[in-house]
Amino acid sequence: MTNINERNHIAHINTTQEVNIISDGLVAIPMLQLLDTNGEYLSHNPSPLTQESALKILYSMHYTRLLDERMVSAQRQGRISFYLACTGEEAAVVASTAALEPVDMIMSQYREQGALVYRGYTTAQFMNQLFSNKLDPNKGRQMPIHYGDKTLNFMTVSSPLGTQIPQAAGYAFGQKYTGEAALTICYFGEGAASEGDFHAGLNMAAVLNCPTIFFCRNNGYAISTPTAEQFAGDGIASRGIGYGVKTIRVDGNDAMAVFAATQAARKIALAESCPVLIEAMTYRLAAHSTSDDPSGYRSADEEVKWQEKDPIARLQKYCIAQSWLDLEHLDAYITQSRAEILAEVKRAEKEDYASIDDLFADVYAVLPKHLDTQKQSLQAHIKKYPEAYPKTARELL
Amino acid sequence: MAQMNLLQAINNALITAMRADNKVLVLGEDVGHFGGVFRATSHLQEEFGRERCFNTPLVEQGIIGFANGLAAQGCKPVAEIQFGDYIFPAFDQIINETAKFRYRSGGQFDCGGLTIRTPYGGGIAGGHYHSQSPEAFFAHIPGIKVVIPRNPYQAKGLLLSAIREPDPVIFFEPKRLYRAAVGDVPESDYELPLGHADIVQTGSDITLVAWGAQVEIIQEAAQRALGDGISCEVIDLQSILPWDIATVSTSVVKTGRLLINHEAPLTAGFAAEVAAEIQSQCFLSLEAPIMRVCGLDTPYPLVHEKEYMPDALKTYEAIIATMNY
């Protein structure tokens, strides 16, 4: 411990006789880019991706896009109530997860289904959650897209924005304290970075030496609010430096760069027990959610410009140029995945809902007496008016 | 047995819990080397190191957010919020995260290891921002438990239970008793059950209910009422979520009268919940309306603290009014 008498919080500050007002922009933070939009590799260093890793990322991105297309359409057909697509941001999510180890905890915001795809979450698991049926691990308690899977180290999604950021610092502290060779990655958008929890989380992670990767998907919009109305200054990356957090800015539509950045972040976070902030510059080609219509706040021209930077096409071009990709195999995978999704939609929507016991379970570790009283009272009421409560009446009669 | 004040009992409980389980970690503002502004965490860093007892930056939402993550990972954080009045920046983390972690994940993840300790209540000339009793806000959140001890013995036993409980607990400490309440406390490891009320004194004419620092106030009122030949049953609720409905209703069936006392403002205070439940359970046994003696519906004052407080004299008057109804 530092000797109390030796502490001096201005010891490292030089003095000056000029009135220097430090402005934003003095330090421009560059963006790591390894593939251009034609999939050309731009660096002189060896590529960080092997054929196997590149193809697993590419296939996972394709699956994610397909899943999103099918489920947005299922929502429009009224089969599910809500959906959030990752379209345009697949590289940011999938390639960052690919640079981690399976033991690393993922705390997502809500648009990171690609991370689950990469880790092997099955179509059936996606559908059980999206349809809130009795096989949904959340037991029908959360809206669609609130995935979570303990065996895959993917923390259950929570709607409030940014709450996972200080939690990720704490989780990582626990991993370090208990001697796990693992860290926590925490995803969030640039809008969520305005929340107090962002500032709390980064500061605490830095001060308490937590091996956490804070991964910001700067996708240009928080629902309708563009970044220019969200923050001043040089993006989210500049804030990391202010908190004493090591920081990387990366082209979020470049899977190769995202992989390299996250791999480097993981290495340094574990070796030095410190947080790293990654700001991935990307674009939400999709609407915010199925409740949103982007034509009210951005132009089709703008969307076209970003479609040209499509992250899937970019990595695919690179893989083709390396002669790594068998296009027929990819087509067959896409066809088969589409069929599997359709079949699982049909299955999942026919499943029953969770039991009425699950309405009351898990509030506490053990059902307390007052909740048991409420449960018995509700059951008696449902038995009296079964037609009014069709989801649960059958099991009670 | 040792003589301890409330702070020493809390400190002793923390040491006991940390010695027994290395997953118990203590964090908060100034809790490290300094030992906390009230010294509840004195010497913990000396014995357990900075890894297990550490200062955090000054950010309540961050402390609880961090502690939620730590608990979800499997540790048992005991997070201190320096004053109950400053817990509100962490309200979102408590309501939307701590309390719902297990439920929303279908039991896959939980924050059950978390205990939040915070001093609450008036009587220290603290004005608005060092005196509030916010327990009723937290009693409205399914998924957490809310516990308030009245003396050193209860504090140690209840805090040890709270730390070891599989559910997250908010532990409100009556700060005006920190040094004022002194009593015998076993030096051994013991737990007192959560969700159970304690009958402090049996009686036959009226049931008086309070928790935390107000228990000694209703005891004083009961003593005064005894001079008028009124026999009061005094109950310390100890836990207000979940609370011990059976003990209170059994008592009210016997006495026919109920008075509830708390420091927090009257309107929508926890006494309202107790009154509503007891009237529905004991309607035919009641001889008089249920009486609430509570703080005023004003912000907590400074120079008029004595006027604001639901003191023994106001409680005594309410006992007489109830008896004469």
Task: Inspect the interface and report whether the beta carbons of B242 and A369 lie closer than 8 Å.
Answer: yes
Asked if residue B155 is part of any domain, the answer here is yes
Asked if residue B190 is part of any domain, the answer here is no
- Using DSSP's 3-state secondary structure scheme, residue B192 falls into coil
Listed in order, strand segments (DSSP E) in A135-254 are 184-189, 212-218, 221-222, 225-226, 246-251
Q: Which of B46, B60, B66 to mutate to test the interface with A (most CBs of A within 10 A)?
A: B66
Judge if A256 and A380 occupy the same domain: no
| B69 at A interface, C-beta within 8 A | yes
Rounded Cα distance between B75 and A47, Å, is: 40
| B114 at A interface, C-beta within 8 A | no
Q: How many domains does chain B have?
A: 2
Q: Which residues contact A369 (CB under 8 A, 6 or more apart)?
A: B195, B242, B245, B246
Rounded Cα distance between B143 and A54, Å, is: 44
pLDDT at B189 over 90: yes
The DSSP element (H or E) to which A277 belongs, if any, is strand A276-281
Which of A153, A107, A147 minimizes the C-alpha distance to A127?
A147
Exposed/middle/buried for residue A138 (C-beta within 10 Å: 0-12, 13-18, 19+): buried
Judge if A169 and A248 occupy the same domain: yes
Judge if A126 and A192 occupy the same domain: yes
Judge if B121 and B251 occupy the same domain: no
Judge if B172 and B203 occupy the same domain: no
Judge if A304 and A367 occupy the same domain: no
CATH number assigned to the domain comprising residue B133: 3.40.50.970
| B4 at A interface, C-beta within 8 A | no
Asked if residue A4 is part of any domain, the answer here is no
What is the model's pLDDT at position A1? 46
Judge if B142 and B290 occupy the same domain: no
Of B29, B80, B97, B130, which one is the catalytic site residue?
Answer: B130
Please tell me which of the candidates B75, B109, B110 has its beta carbon nearest to residue A174: B75
pLDDT at B175 over 60: yes
Q: How many domains does chain A have?
A: 2
Judge if B149 and B287 occupy the same domain: no
Task: Inspect the interface and report whether the beta carbons of B56 and A204 lie closer than 8 Å.
Answer: yes
> What percent of chain B shows pLDDT beyond 70?
100
Rounded Cα distance between B232 and B204, Å, is: 6
| Cβ-contact A319, A58 below 8 angstroms | yes
Residue-level length of chain A: 397
CATH number assigned to the domain comprising residue B222: 3.40.50.920
Task: Inspect the interface and report whether the beta carbons of A197 and B57 lie closer than 8 Å.
Answer: no
Asked if residue A14 is part of any domain, the answer here is no
Judge if B21 and B63 occupy the same domain: yes
- pLDDT (tens digit, 9 = 90+) per residue, B135-149? 999 999 999 999 999
Which among B185, B215, B233 is the end of a domain? Answer: B185
Asked if residue A300 is part of any domain, the answer here is yes
* H-type alpha helices, A273-299: none
What is the model's pLDDT at position A22? 83
Judge if A250 and A373 occupy the same domain: no
Asked if residue B100 is part of any domain, the answer here is yes
Our CA-based measurement puts residue B129 at a distance from the nearest CA of chain A, in whole angstroms, of 21
Judge if B76 and B174 occupy the same domain: yes
Asked if residue B193 is part of any domain, the answer here is no
What is the model's pLDDT at position A205? 98
Asked if residue A227 is part of any domain, the answer here is yes
This prediction's pTM: 0.97
What is the pLDDT tens value at each position of chain A, 397 positions in all? 455 556 788 888 888 899 988 887 667 899 999 999 999 999 999 999 999 999 999 999 999 999 999 999 999 999 999 999 999 999 999 999 999 999 999 999 999 999 999 999 999 999 999 999 999 999 999 999 999 999 999 999 999 999 999 999 999 999 999 999 999 999 999 999 999 999 999 999 999 999 999 999 999 999 999 999 999 989 999 999 999 999 999 999 999 999 999 999 999 999 999 999 999 999 999 999 999 999 999 999 999 999 999 999 999 999 999 999 999 999 999 999 999 999 999 999 999 999 999 999 999 999 999 999 999 999 999 999 999 999 899 888 8
Rounded Cα distance between B27 and B29, Å, is: 7
Is the ipTM here above 0.90?
A: yes
Neighbours of A285 (CB within 10 A): 22
The DSSP element (H or E) to which B198 belongs, if any, is strand B198-201
| B39 at A interface, C-beta within 8 A | no
- Single-letter residue type at A369: K
| Cβ-contact B138, B99 below 8 angstroms | no
Rounded Cα distance between B62 and B86, Å, is: 13
Asked if residue A217 is part of any domain, the answer here is yes
Q: What is the phi/psi pair of residue A156, to 5°?
A: -55, 135
Judge if B153 and B234 occupy the same domain: no
Neighbours of B281 (CB within 10 A): 16
Judge if A238 and A368 occupy the same domain: no
- pLDDT (tens digit, 9 = 90+) per residue, B74-109? 999 999 999 999 999 999 999 999 999 999 999 999
Cβ-defined contacts of B85-91 (< 8 Å, 24+): B85/B128, B85/B129, B85/B130, B85/B131, B85/B132, B85/B134, B86/B60, B86/B129, B87/B60, B87/B116, B87/B118, B87/B134, B88/B60, B88/B134, B89/A196, B89/B59, B89/B60, B89/B61, B90/B60, B90/B61, B90/B63, B90/B64, B90/B65, B91/B137
Which among B185, B211, B230 is the end of a domain? Answer: B185
Mean of all residue pLDDT scores within chain B: 98
List residues of A with catalytic annotation: 284, 288, 297
What is the model's pLDDT at position B135? 98
Judge if A168 and A74 occupy the same domain: yes
CB pairs < 8 Å spanning A and B: 163
Judge if B212 and B292 occupy the same domain: yes
The reply to whether omega before B242 is within 30° of 0 (cis) is yes
Q: What angle do CA A52, A54, A60 make, to 5 degrees?
A: 100
Asked if residue A2 is part of any domain, the answer here is no
Please tell me which of the candidates B59, B77, B106 has its beta carbon nearest to residue A362: B106
Please tell me which of the candidates A163, A170, A363 has its beta carbon nearest to residue B143: A363
User: Rg of the Cα trace of chain A?
Assistant: 23
Asked if residue B305 is part of any domain, the answer here is yes
CATH number assigned to the domain comprising residue A120: 3.40.50.970
Asked if residue A18 is part of any domain, the answer here is no
Judge if B35 and B171 occupy the same domain: yes
Judge if A267 and A387 occupy the same domain: no
Task: Inspect the interface and report whether the beta carbons of B105 and A369 lie closer than 8 Å.
Answer: no
Q: Which residues contact B82 (CB under 8 A, 6 or more apart)?
A: B28, B29, B30, B36, B37, B118, B119
Judge if B24 and B164 occupy the same domain: yes
Judge if A377 and A259 occupy the same domain: no
Judge if A301 and A236 occupy the same domain: yes
The range of the structural domain enclosing residue A372 comes to 357-396
Judge if B173 and B207 occupy the same domain: no
| B32 at A interface, C-beta within 8 A | no
The range of the structural domain enclosing residue B47 comes to 2-185
Rounded Cα distance between B255 and B285, Å, is: 8
B304 is catalytic: no
Judge if B177 and B208 occupy the same domain: no
Which among B134, B161, B185 is the end of a domain? Answer: B185
Judge if A72 and A156 occupy the same domain: yes
Q: What residues of B are in contact with residue A104 (Cβ under 8 Å)?
A: none
Asked if residue A16 is part of any domain, the answer here is no
Judge if A301 and A378 occupy the same domain: no
For the CA atoms of A158, A164, A170, A176, the dihedral, rounded to the nearest 10 degrees, stands at: 100
Q: Tokens for A131, please give them.
A: 């349809």
Task: Inspect the interface and report whether the beta carbons of A177 and B96 lie closer than 8 Å.
Answer: no
